[in-house]
Structure formats: structure tokens, C-alpha cells
Amino acid sequence: EVRRIQVKVTGMTCSACSNSVEGAIMALRGVETATVSLLQNKAHVIFDPRLLKDEDIKDAIEDAGFEAEVLP
Ligand code: 9UX
């Protein structure tokens, strides 16, 4: 059982930004896949909902220095 979410990420201006967001998400235990689109300002994350909450993903992105909003 996995959960998939899309997160709007604001503040990424180069591919190093999107790589660091991707790395910050992937570093969380329970994340299976994280793909970040610089052009779409979005992250797509697949994770184990027993280990992480949506809010944990948001917090990791914000700790990396970007604004994040989990999309409905
Ligand atoms: Mo390049 Mo992205 O300095 O902040 S990593 S713009």
C-alpha cells in the first residue's frame, strides 16, 4: 500500500534546486520515489503512509529552503 501525492514547490530556479528538493525528499525513510519538475514547479512523491505523513514531505521541502503546498 502506497500513497501518491503532488506537491506544488515554489522557489526553484535551476536544476540544482530541483535536484536538492528531490534529494531532500528521497532522504526520508518511507519514500519510494520522488520526481521533481522544475518547469512545472511540482514534486510527485510515492511513499509508505505507515511511515510518513503528507506534512513530513512538505516539511522536508521547506527545510531545504523552498515553499511547499500539498495539492488536493
Ligand atoms: Mo542555483 Mo538553484 O544557485 O537555487 S541551486 S539557482
Nearest by Cα to 46 from 29, 32, 27, 30: 32
Distance 23 CA to ligand 1 centre (A): 14
The answer to whether 2 and 48 have CB atoms below 8 angstroms apart is yes
**Domains of the chain: which residue ranges?**
3-70
Nearest by Cα to 48 from 23, 70, 31: 31
Atom of ligand 1 nearest to the CA of 16: 5
Report the nearest-CA residue for atom 4 of ligand 1.
Answer: 17
Nearest by Cα to 38 from 67, 63, 17: 17
pLDDT in tens, 57-68: 999 999 999 999
Q: What is the average pLDDT across 34-46?
A: 98
Q: Tell me the percentage of the chain whose pLDDT exceeds 90.
A: 100
Q: How confident is the model at residue 34 (pLDDT cuts 50, 70, 90)?
A: very high
Atom of ligand 1 nearest to the CA of 17: 2
pLDDT in tens, 4-27: 999 999 999 999 999 999 999 999
The pLDDT assigned to 21 comes to: 98
- Global confidence as pTM: 0.95
Identify the architecture of domain 3-70 in CATH.
Answer: 2-Layer Sandwich (3.30)
The answer to whether 30 and 45 have CB atoms below 8 angstroms apart is no
**Residue list, ligand 1 pocket, CB within 6 Å:** 13-14, 16-17
CA-to-CA distance for 12 and 46, rounded, in angstroms? 21
